[in-house]
Structure 1
Amino acid sequence: MKEKILTKAVDMFLNLGFKSVTMDDIAHEIGISKKTIYTEYSNKTALVEDCVMHKFCTMSDGIDDIVALGKNPIEELYEIKKYVLSHLKDEKTSPQYQLMKYYPKIYGNLKKLHFDKMQGCVLSNVERGVTQEIYRSNLNVEFVARIYFSGVNSIKDQSVFPLERFPVAYLMDTYLEYHLRGIVTPKGREILNGIINSNQQ
């Protein structure tokens, strides 16, 4: 039962927002009593935290699987972007903003986990790209990893990038290209242009 509650709650929170969805709503959607949810979760905060950590672990494992394929670093970033997009809803409710506003402690923990995961992933990606001579050899690898993380978070700010003008898929595509064009060598640029051209066909 716990897994059923978790699956439905994750879907509803991402679609409708953490604030908007009540325990009654989740119980109604599953067709159980609210009391049944409270036998598994002491309160809504506990459920939100479990949902957030479950989603993070799922995404993290999926990214690890992509990295294990051993693609070249540019292709790897495009595969990760495609994977992340397929798992995140084209949100209208900005669940991340609601999480930050109404559950700041959970948001803080998630942000730290997200930072640690992305740092490791991007540091490794940049180092391999430099070794393969598709990224410039004079890069400050840690700076590149941190600025990439910072940018990925910044483009989620809907006060700067309103959804009606900047859809999520467009933002992620454009930001990834912006990031890569700043660090590739001529050899890397050929790979990047090839991926972009094949995606547009």
Structure 2
Amino acid sequence: MEAENENKVHIRSEALQLFMQYGTRSVSMDDIAAAVGSSKKTIYQYYTDKDHLVAEAIEVALIENCTQCKKFHRLSENAIQEGFLAIDQTSELFRNMNPVLMNDLKKYHPKAYKRFVEYKSEFIYDIIVNNIKRGIEEGLYREDLNIDIIAQFRVGSIDILFMPEFYGRVKEGLFRVQLEIFYFFLYGMATPKGQKLIEKYKKHKPKNSSDAKD
């Protein structure tokens, strides 16, 4: 398979960083061209318009997240460690993420937003279900959990982060909010054995396996 054009990748990467920081509505093609160090004409050689660029940037971000989630599952020693590895990556993502991004996608880029919703309700849901089943088998999560309800609720909690009526009233940024939600769910599912592991990983976070070799 032929490698993707480096200029196209660079444009998409710089654009994604701007979208994450400011949302999509506030970022113009001129802004992207300035960040890339090229002309708008060059950008239009690879992307027909901003909507096209947004859609591809979001798609690639989701693909990368999918790859990391599968890697965390494969390399983690247990379900709780898998969760900590995943939340560590998500925390880094959220450190510089403007919550208006999701609302901009919903209003101005329906294709990209639909893709995110599908990814969240299908892949992320499955990841959570498998993690819960794994944790139960390992004796780290309670056996009486209704897996579907918990997984659906956990997926739904992602939407709360991007509700203006929520993030507008919370002083902490997305980074801290999603971490507290993660702990809330984890402690709610954990057995005494699992709670000990949670405390262990909170004090000594496991190394992010995204830097580890396959």
Q: TM-score, normalised by structure 2?
A: 0.86
Instruction: Report the aligned-residue RMSD.
Output: 1.7
Alignment counterpart, residue 196 of structure 2, candidates 170, 190, 198: 190
Residue 75 of structure 1 pairs with residue 81 of structure 2:
yes
Tell me which residue corresponds to 2:209: none
Contact 2:92/2:175 (<8 A) preserved:
no
- Provide, for residues 52-84 of structure 1, a one-character-per-residue CA deviation record: whole Å limited to 9, x for no partner: 101111111112111110321111111100011
Total equivalences in the alignment: 199
Change beyond 3 A, Cα 1:193–1:89? closer
Change beyond 3 A, Cα 1:92–1:122? closer
* Cα distance in 2 for residues equivalent to 1:187 and 1:64: 25
Contact 2:79/2:132 (<8 A) preserved:
yes
> What is the DSSP-based 3-state SS (H/G/I as helix, E as strand, rest coil) of the residue aligned with 1:182?
helix
Tell me which residue corresponds to 1:134: 140
* Cα distance in 1 for residues equivalent to 2:169 and 2:23: 15
Tell me which residue corresponds to 2:186: 180
> What is the DSSP-based 3-state SS (H/G/I as helix, E as strand, rest coil) of the residue aligned with 1:127?
helix
Per-residue deviation, 1:145: 1.0
Letter in 2 for 1:144: I
Letter in 1 for 2:121: F
> What is the DSSP-based 3-state SS (H/G/I as helix, E as strand, rest coil) of the residue aligned with 2:38?
coil
Change beyond 3 A, Cα 1:93–1:137? closer
* Cα distance in 2 for residues equivalent to 1:186 and 1:107: 39
Change beyond 3 A, Cα 1:164–1:90? farther
> What is the DSSP-based 3-state SS (H/G/I as helix, E as strand, rest coil) of the residue aligned with 1:64?
helix
Per-residue deviation, 1:161: 2.9
Residue 49 of structure 1 pairs with residue 68 of structure 2:
no
> What is the DSSP-based 3-state SS (H/G/I as helix, E as strand, rest coil) of the residue aligned with 1:42?
coil
Alignment counterpart, residue 159 of structure 1, candidates 146, 162, 165: 165
The higher relative CO (CA closer than 8 Å, separation ≥ 6) is in: 2
Q: TM-score, normalised by structure 1?
A: 0.91
Tell me which residue corresponds to 2:37: 31
Contact 1:9/1:51 (<8 A) preserved:
yes
Show structure 1 runs of 5+ residues with no match: none
- Provide, for residues 59-110 of structure 1, a one-character-per-residue CA deviation record: whole Å limited to 9, x for no partner: 1111211111032111111110001122344334621121112213321221
Show structure 2 runs of 5+ residues with no match: 1-6, 206-214
Contact 1:23/1:34 (<8 A) preserved:
yes
* Cα distance in 1 for residues equivalent to 2:200 and 2:112: 40
Letter in 2 for 1:157: M
Q: Percent identity at matched positions?
A: 24
